[in-house]
Amino acid sequence: MRARLVPLAVILLCCSGAALCQRFGGFRGFGFGRTQEGPRPVFPKEGEFHFIRLEYTDDPRYHRGFGFASRGAEGSGWWIVDWPDSDDHFSMGVRRLTRIDTGEPRHFPLTDDRIWDHPWIYVTQSGWWNLSKPETDRLREYLLRGGFLVTDDMWGDDAWQIFRGTMDRVFPGQPINDIALDDAVMHVLYDIGPRDLTWIPGTRHLRRGYDGQVTVQQPPGSEPAWRALYDDHRRLVVAINYNTDIGDAWEYADAPEYPEKMTALAYRYGVNYLVYAMTH
């Protein structure tokens, strides 16, 4: 029996490896880049801009009960997806592409008073968050004081309904519309035009064929939308990336397997959001 089980185990291992190679990144899967490239980049302790990732509690119906403890994460749940590579790579891009003095990326919840020191915060998977009343009250005050929120990697109607319900508690009755092409946020630094209103894939949408080529497969029914919520003075306060994933495009910015054009587009959106937030 042992003689028969050993060849079977080898066959199963090879099949699983082939499946990973077909999906993306070979045996490295989602983890390529960080473990093989050494430590995280070093940023100044302080700066004009810090990438602030918002911590939150998951909606209990969609709770994700694990994080990346092996990589030094101080929590778990959906908020930590793509951390820290996404934050690091975007911060390096801001430092390279602008004259903004960029400090170390950070992460904390809305209830942390450090939020008042930062004009731009990013939240991923906001379709699965569960904000309390103190948190929605704090978010409203933050945005009315001049803060700017970027939401990303939110897919499907269920996630949209949760997010929409949360924003109704933050700004009751305030509409959410597609960002107009002539909006200042689309031209504040980079010009973003009609061809750029496309979806940006996550790594889960990439497939490697037997010829080694990576192809992109858009999920059925996942039409991308670039939406916004404005305050009463028509200042854009929440940028909403729906059915698209700029966080993955930042995270895998140095990965040859990830489509370069999509990373470039994700940087243009992100930098425009940031410059708008710091000048409006």
| Confidence band of 205 (pLDDT split at 50, 70, 90) | confident
Residue 48 has pLDDT above 70, yes or no: yes
Domain hosting residue 194, numbered range: 37-279
Do residues 3 and 92 both lie within one domain? no
Per-residue pLDDT tens for 157-204? 999 999 999 999 999 999 999 999 999 999 999 999 999 999 898 888
Q: In whole numbers, what is the pLDDT of the chain averaged over residues?
A: 85
| Confidence band of 30 (pLDDT split at 50, 70, 90) | very low
Question: Which one, of 78, 51, 74, lies nearest residue 63 by Cα?
Answer: 78
Do residues 112 and 89 both lie within one domain? yes
pLDDT score at 75: 64
Do residues 177 and 150 both lie within one domain? yes
pLDDT score at 56: 96
3-state secondary structure of 163: helix
Pairing of strands 225-230, 236-242: antiparallel
84 and 112 Cβ atoms separated by less than 8 Å = no
Q: What is the CATH number of the domain that holds 257?
A: 3.40.50.12140
Do residues 232 and 113 both lie within one domain? yes
Do residues 141 and 195 both lie within one domain? yes
pLDDT score at 191: 98
26-40, 80-94, 205-219, 266-280: segment of lowest average pLDDT: 26-40
Question: Which one, of 81, 43, 138, 93, lies nearest residue 273 by Cα?
Answer: 93
Residue 15 has pLDDT above 80, yes or no: no
Do residues 4 and 69 both lie within one domain? no
